[in-house]
Chains A and B, each alone.
Chain A
Amino acid sequence: MTREFKKILRFWGIGLVWFYFLLWPLMGLKGDQVSFADSLKVWAAVAVASGLCVVVWLLRERGVLDPLGRGLAAGRNAARAAYSGLPVWVWALVGLACSLCLPLVANRYVMDVFINVLVYVCLGLGLNIVVGLAGLLDLGYIAFYGVGAYTYALLSIHFGISFWLCLPVAAVFAAIAGCFIGYPTLRMRGDYLAIVTLGFGEIVRIVLNNWMGLTNGPNGILGVKAPSVIWPSFANGFELETIWLRSLDGLYYVILGLTVVTVISVYRLNYSRVGRAWEAIREDETAAELMGVNTFRLKLLAYAMGAVFGGLAGAFFAARFRFVSPESFTFLESAMVLSMVVLGGMGSIPGVILGALALIALPEAFREFELYRMLAFGAAMTIMMLFRPAGLIPAPRFGSRSEEAD
């Protein structure tokens, strides 16, 4: 019975009593009925689960779990050695080959989930530029996704312009929105930036929701065209035929292409002069400015570049569902993308991909617990921050640096 153990036990005991006090009024008081059964059931489940955690912790402290830990560490080292044994592009090619073959083995449902994952990979990588590289917290990122989606939707239904032509237009519009948001906010420091970007995200959503003339308000826009390809057809002579990529496989390849473009661009940006400058700004803005980095322009560029990828993903979103409505662009989506970036490891491309996979595909695996999904998501986010704040695959950091003040 060490002191540490007593402390944990006391924390656990008091915590459980405290928890019951918080739980009972919510579950046990319904109108004039006072019941204890339901709340006690939930409470007992939580007590047993947390008790198990305490036991595991105790065993680990006693060294009972050491062999297991050694085994895990050995496995991890082996994996790391295998990973660093081959150059990065080999792994990237393996990943790409697997993704290309996926439609051959997967059913509709799995395809649907993976399309979703890839959309979020694009979004995550875009946000990664802003948050991970330039170190600017953005809580309204989903606004750019919305701008891209509405740009394509409007151009498609009013002018019938094809998806491929609209992609760059959507990207440009999103970039303009990014500059528009970035310009007044960039003079603010950390947390103000967070709340102002959040405010901007909400403004965009409210405008989309209320500008009936342009966006048809909460009803959304129907009848957006799917992406098409022009394909030569020799059925009667020679003519060019337009094929609409409505099938999931077709859409999957479109978003896979977008993702590959995004990954390569972000990778190249990361190791370019601009990327280095962003990292310098993240580490110490004043020092970066002293070294001759034009911080204002580069921060604006970070916003615009992040917005570009959000806009591309947004255009795809509109083309995929052939419908857009403001409720797809809520704060919760921004939070979701941000948690992917942080969960995966800020500034790390494989990290963000893994984060998107974990946050989109894992909840699908627990479909039957639909109701508890967001509850678990919130709890997992907190637990993740408590035990692994640097993310699953932290980005490699070069050189040594003094402790960050901010």
Chain B
Amino acid sequence: MDYFLQQLTNGVTLGGVYALIALGYTMVYGIIQLINFAHGEFFAAGGYMGVILIGWLLTTGAPPWVCLSLGMLLAMGYCAMLAMAVEKVAYKPLRKASRLAVLLSALGMSIFLQNGLMLTQGVYDKAYPTQMTQGGFAIGNVSISYMQVIIVAVTAALLIGLNLLVFRTRIGKAMRATAQDKTMSALVGINANRVISTTFAIGAALAAAAGIMVGFYYGSVRYDMGFVPGIKAFAAAVLGGIGNITGAMIGGFVIGLVEIFAAAYISSQYKDVFAFIILIAVLYFMPTGIMGENVDDTRV
């Protein structure tokens, strides 16, 4: 039982990270029907920006929690800028092109960004300043590290914030309208380009937050760390019903829990396989995901 609870804690932590990445995929897909392959790279870039900026802020002698939160905010801003640039250069001119063309453009951007990270940051793991978040406590026999608490708290805060943004603000309303019907939303005066740009920025900022937390959790980042979590997070988005924000959150937690429990009880080497098998099984029996999809199939 203790073992189960321990794994449950780990699964929720990992699931939160996947949920944050999956949101970026699902929001982008919901609006422009693009599997944004570069999204995993935003996650990796966020991880790198976290270690660079937090490391630099720590040298200024500011208190650790200021460094942590400021560094995180700056890294999220950085990735938002990166995503907006990528969208402007690689996706916007292709709004009317075939889907495959945009997909390959995204693949090209993914390879480009990954190698850009490698060239500027080196091929080796970059260590995180984990000493500031070390330690933990135990409830019964279940040990919980402070980092897990931080991850769950930050994830929860971001998910609530995103929900408020999407369902309570004007820009959120515009995003939902654009995702539902681009022609009609354009007719009532919603600037689709701006909405799409904002969507990319928000998704990338969430991915950056996930990247930093993964960096702290595992203690290091690598230039190619975006690929595997990227596809798993996309699997999570599909699992929850693509275009569906609540679905992406649920899907992220499902994939995280499946991975951790499969690793704990079945085989740790094949844990990645189980995530994909779940994905295939769900798509086979529920082709629109758990929560149903929410996609506008018309082109901009």
Contact = CB atoms under 8 A, between A and B. Distances in A.
A207 interface: yes
A4 to B, nearest CB: 15
Given A18-B81, A137-B100, A202-B231, A192 B48 contact: no
Interface in A172-208: 184-185, 187-188, 190-192, 194-196, 198-200, 202-203, 206-207
Given A22-B81, A199-B280, A202-B272, A192 B238 contact: yes
Interface residues of B, number: 61
Contacts of B99: 190-191, 406
B73 interface: no
A203 B284 contact: no
Contacts of B115: 372, 374-375, 378
B235 A206 contact: no
A328 interface: no
B131 interface: no
Consensus secondary structure, chain A interface: helix
Interface residues of A, number: 58
Contacts of B112: 375, 378-379, 382
A339 B104 contact: yes
B102 A385 contact: yes
A335 B100 CA distance: 12
Interface stretch (B49-57, B174-182, B186-194): B49-57
Interface stretch (B10-18, B116-124, B142-150): B116-124
Interface in B90-139: 90, 93-94, 97-105, 107-117, 119-121
Given A202-B276, A375-B115, A342 B56 contact: no
Contacts of B277: 203
A31 B270 CA distance: 37
Contacts of B111: 332, 335, 374-375, 377-378, 381
Given A375-B119, A382-B105, A192 B59 contact: no
Contacts of B297: 405
A207 B114 CA distance: 25
Contacts of A21: 81
A200 B279 CA distance: 11
A195 B231 contact: yes
Contacts of B110: 378
Given A203-B276, A210-B269, A339 B107 contact: yes
Interface string A6-27: 0000000001001101100111
B191 to A, nearest CB: 17
A187 B287 contact: yes
A395 B15 CA distance: 45
B56 A210 contact: no
Contacts of B104: 338-339, 342, 381, 385
A184 B281 CA distance: 9
A41 to B, nearest CB: 13
Given A29-B52, A380-B108, A381-B105, A191 B81 contact: no
Contacts of A203: 272-273, 276-277
A195 B238 contact: yes
Contacts, number: 158
Contacts of A377: 108, 111
A19 to B, nearest CB: 7
Nearest to A137: B100
Contact of A188 (B121, B269, B283): B283
Contacts of A188: 283, 287
B234 interface: yes
Contacts of A374: 111, 114-115
Residue of B93, B94, B101 with highest tally of chain A CB at under 10 A: B101
A220 interface: no
Contact of B35 (A191, A210, A378, A380): A191
A386 interface: yes
Nearest to A212: B269
B33 interface: yes
A207 B287 contact: no
A196 B78 contact: no
B119 A207 contact: no
Contact of A184 (B59, B85, B280): B280
Given A375-B115, A389-B97, A195 B35 contact: yes
Nearest to A346: B100
A187 to B, nearest CB: 7
Contacts of B120: 26-27
B82 interface: yes
22 contacts: A15-B85, A15-B88, A26-B48, A29-B56, A32-B59, A191-B99, A191-B242, A196-B279, A196-B283, A203-B276, A206-B269, A207-B270, A331-B227, A342-B101, A374-B115, A378-B110, A378-B112, A380-B108, A381-B111, A382-B108, A383-B108, A404-B98
Given A185-B280, A374-B111, A382-B105, 8 more contacts: A25-B52, A31-B55, A191-B35, A199-B276, A206-B272, A371-B119, A381-B104, A386-B94
The 10 nearest A-B residue pairs measured at CB: A381-B108, A378-B112, A378-B111, A199-B276, A382-B108, A32-B59, A389-B101, A385-B105, A375-B115, A210-B269
Interface of B: 29, 33, 35, 48-49, 52-53, 55-56, 59, 78, 81-82, 85, 88-90, 93-94, 97-105, 107-117, 119-121, 227-228, 231, 234-235, 238, 242, 269-270, 272-273, 276-277, 279-280, 283-284, 287, 297
